Each structure stands twice: as structure tokens, then as C-alpha cells.
Amino acid sequence: MSDIRICNISYSYTPSEKALRGVSFCIPAGCFCGIIGPNGSGKTTLLKCISGYFTPDEGQVLIDGKDVACFSTREIAKRMALVQQHASLEYDFTVMDIVLTGRNPHIKRMRSETEADYAIAHNALECAGIHELKDRLLTTLSGGEWQMMILARALCQQADIMLLDEPVAGLDIAHQVGIMSTVRRLAAERGISVVCVLHDLNLARAFCQQIVLLKKGMRYAEGTPDSVLTKSNIEHVYGTKVNIIEQDGQKYILPVIAG
């Protein structure tokens, strides 16, 4: 179980414009935290700062009180798993090959995977519900199957933090819900802290316990889904009118489409 503290971080790609401006918040251990905001608001930049891939110009990210910048690559890999947006890989590896790479941080250089590593990989495939895909080639996978494989790779890592960068972008609704449900179930079972960049506000409301809303690199709002995803917050940040409707006790955000 790991808690993450983001302390006043700023980051800029070019000297003239800051992508992140003094963002602070805490993610308690085992929490499912969503990061939302318009395109270009700094969501992915924030995630890359949390993972230590970018070093903030100011401020720091603390994991269990330790600065991420001080972690070695191997430590990073043992603590944090990453699930990126779907991108294909034109090499003929099998699904099992890729899932097994999740064991790499735990294996010494020049050593092969042991029986135990294989057992963990099989278990990860089963948890993701794709054990029957294990011998399939990457080049034959659909987008949804691919993301499930990456999820299995992340589980195989046995890290207690999972970072997801738009994990369901471009997938059909069944896979969107399937992947998000799987992440939430496994995170709860294993006490994994999740930080997930999302575009879909309804998915964010349904799956996250905590939501951070960014606007132009600044934290606009932070808190529970109900407190953050209000009509006025969304209209203010996204600049578009929305209706919030309620059905079967669930709230849904719908954009108002003119004409």
C-alpha cells in the first residue's frame, strides 16, 4: 500500500509556457484517483511527473514520503506499473512474452524466468480474463484484447501503484467498462493505488473514488466525484453546456448539443 503526495509541482516544455502550475494533492493508499480535464490541460504531463519520467521544474512527488526523483529505474518498476493508451507493436511476440516482461524488475540480469515467474504470469492472465490468448501473436490482437494484455503485464509486475494513461481511449463500450471494472476490482483486492487519466466523465464518475480536475495546468477542483463533477465546474472548465441526468440512482453527464 502506497500513498502519493504531489507537492506544488510545475513543469514546462518550453520556457514561455507552463504545462503544470503549482499542482498539489494527495492520493491515499489504495485509492482509485481519476485525473480529468480538457485536451492540453496537463493530465498526461501530471501523470509523467508522478511516474518520475519528467522531473518537475519546481515541487516534488513523494511516494510513501520518498521523492520519486531518487528512485532507481528498477525501484520505479517494482513500485509503479504503467498502462498506456493503446499503441500497436509490429513484432511477432506472443501475449505471454509481453506479460512475462512484467517480471523483469524482479529478475537479475542474464537470468531467465523461473517457474514462479511463469505461475505469476499465468495468474495475471487469468485475473485479466484472457488466459486463452496467451499464445496469440501481438499482430492478431484487437484493441480491447491488447489493453487487457497490458493490464495483465501490469499485474504481473506486482506493483502497488498502477498508473493508467487513457487506458480505454478508442475502445468499444464493452471493453471500456470491462477494463475499468477489472482495474477497480483488482485494485480493491490487492490494495493497489490507481492514478488514471480519463477523458470520459461518466467513466470517471462511475469508477473513481477521488477526482482531480485540471484546467490550463492548474488544479481546478479535487475531491469526490459528486463534489467535482458539478454542472458549473464542467461548464466552466470545458466551456460547453451539459445536463446532469439521474437514472436508477446513477448520475450521467450529457453535453447539450445545439440544433
Partner 1 sequence: MKQLRSKNTRITFTVMLPLGIAAFLAAFLLGSSGVSIGELIRLIGGTAERSTAIIFFNLRLPRALLAFVSGGALSISGACLQGMFKNPMADSYVVGVSSGAALGATVALAFSAQLAFLGFGAVTILAFMGALFAVFLVYNLAKIQGKVSTFSLLLSGIAISTLCSALVYCIMILYRDKMEHIVMWTMGSFSSPSWDKVVVALPPMLVASVLCLVFAKDLNIMLQGDEAARHLGVDSGKVRRNLIVITTLAAASAVSVSGIIGFVGLIIPHILRLILGPDHRRLLPYSFFGGGIFLLLADTLARIVLDSQEIPVGVITAVVGVPFFLYLLRRGKKVAK
Q: Is 97 in the site for partner 1 (CB under 8 A)?
A: yes
Tell me how far, at minimum, the Cβ of 241 lies from partner 1, in Å.
Answer: 36
Which listed residue (39, 73, 232, 247) binds partner 1 by CB under 8 A?
73
Specify the stretch interacting with partner 1 by CB under 8 A; choose among 30-38, 96-104, 120-128, 230-238: 96-104
Closer residue to partner 1 in complex, CB, 38/105: 105
Closer residue to partner 1 in complex, CB, 47/228: 47
Closer residue to partner 1 in complex, CB, 80/201: 80
Q: What is the C-alpha separation between 213 and 237, in angstroms, rounded? A: 8
Coil/strand/helix, residue 68: helix
Nearest to 84 by CA among 188, 172, 165: 165
Nearest to 96 by CA among 70, 129, 122: 122
Q: Is 122 in the site for partner 1 (CB under 8 A)?
A: no
Q: CA dist 67 to 35, 54, 72, 165, Å?
A: 21, 13, 11, 21
What residue ranges in the chain does DSSP mark as E strands?
Answer: 4-14, 17-27, 32-36, 58-63, 66-67, 80-83, 161-165, 193-197, 210-215, 218-223, 242-247, 250-255
Tally the residues of the chain. Answer: 259
Which listed residue (1, 24, 53, 69) binds partner 1 by CB under 8 A?
53
Tell me how far, at minimum, the Cβ of 135 lies from partner 1, in Å.
Answer: 6
Which listed residue (89, 119, 173, 254) binds partner 1 by CB under 8 A?
89
- H/E element, 181: helix 173-190
Specify the stretch interacting with partner 1 by CB under 8 A; choose among 72-80, 121-129, 177-185, 208-216: 72-80
Binding site for partner 1 (CB under 8 A): 48, 51, 53, 73-74, 76-78, 80-82, 84, 87, 89, 91-94, 96-98, 101-102, 104-105, 109-110, 135, 137, 139, 153, 157, 163
